Structure 1
């Protein structure tokens, strides 16, 4: 593929397994790492309209199937990780890590502490309305910049995204390049102390040293039309998984964590097929036991290996 004026890096047949936290997945037709917004616009304008694109963050909530992706995977890097603060607003590049945004905000006396324990980057957090401890991106979102599939730079609002629990109406084919969030004023020391306590609790209850992709399934209760979600509800995915006897269940190298049963881990040598098969086995067992249909929180993309 020839792109006139390209300044970033375009790699053909790029293996994606090393770019996901679960360390599984096949090749993408191309991996594009743009130098900056103008470079991203240039490439999207020149790509044929029938070429699929897939924006990829840090791979923290993703299974790429073993057959790979017939697409141009777009991975934003150093040119998209800036963090700027003005008044009570924080503008972060899509590649800025959630944890870094939370810490920089706290330094400035702004409360975005719920982001501290969320794995991944701001681009993914906005797209999936990430949240914890009863706070969500929807609560603090001001606006975002996107580049459309035809290379146009646009600003979008909460009305455009239609925030719901763990999902948004993000424009098809677009790439999110930055987001502006609003934090409430708070004492910096209190914010850092709170985040330290949150990290301690997370490490005590979740398999943070293992290869995982965060929560495997959405919690089954607490949906609402306002996007308020269920971290404060009683019914949790880990509980119905436990009740179905699936804590520690395995398929090949894939395992539901003994430490937290809603975390799927690559216990060693797992394929994407192992992980997805285990997830589907858990869903079937939970449905048979409780009548509850768990919904995947981990995004699964690409093609299985052909026979």
Structure 2
């Protein structure tokens, strides 16, 4: 459930606390009375959360298991922060129409994290180890197949990329993964799809809305193409500009939504995230970015009424 986290105290605030609150109020006032409020507020949220994300992700001691569920969870925290930072950078550029592509990463990571944590601890640890190996070796294999063609097309010799032949190792890793999947009764002895993970973790609504929203930005999608075509019965212009004021708000609002949900998912694991989420500043920026548009009936839309303006073709 999406909600702002915060705590109240009966203790008399210190001078430092009073100054911090005054500074926060001044910053909020500046953002509210400036242009592009949601973008500027999200930028502040990215800056506020950066030190806490660093606490979770820097100087992490490795246990005997190495790459494990704990490391994956910390990685997802970093990826979420990187994605929100990338969104704020993209919406401040001519490429603002494509800012929401980063929502795809956040959506999949949220669903995957919740699914991974729902597994038996031993199964989850084994899955992380084996699947990471399969994915890495698959990348090597794919690269070794493509780059010789690329060098040939560019008229030059193929350099030694420094990788051994991974064919046998990859096959063994795939068999190990298949065996693990078979033991869990997963369909076709494969890891579940993101959709299936969403079903198993009660995140179908997240999948249906956010996965659709982000996938439309990365797939060859006729609605996305059609919304770029505007004009008269005789001529049209093809451009991302008709929605250039709407794309940024959609990206930052729903990017913040997913970022908050991801942090909430790991709050019980990492003390810095608990500290961040209970702080006043986090709750204030969250309220400005999410709750304020909601209370004004202005949550961004996937599709707008004016887009349903096509003419019926003649028979």
Does TM, scored on the shorter chain, surpass 0.5? no
Greater RCO (CA < 8 Å, at least 6 residues apart): 2
More strand by share: 1
More helix by share: 2
- TM norm structure 1: 0.29
- TM norm structure 2: 0.28
Larger Rg: 2
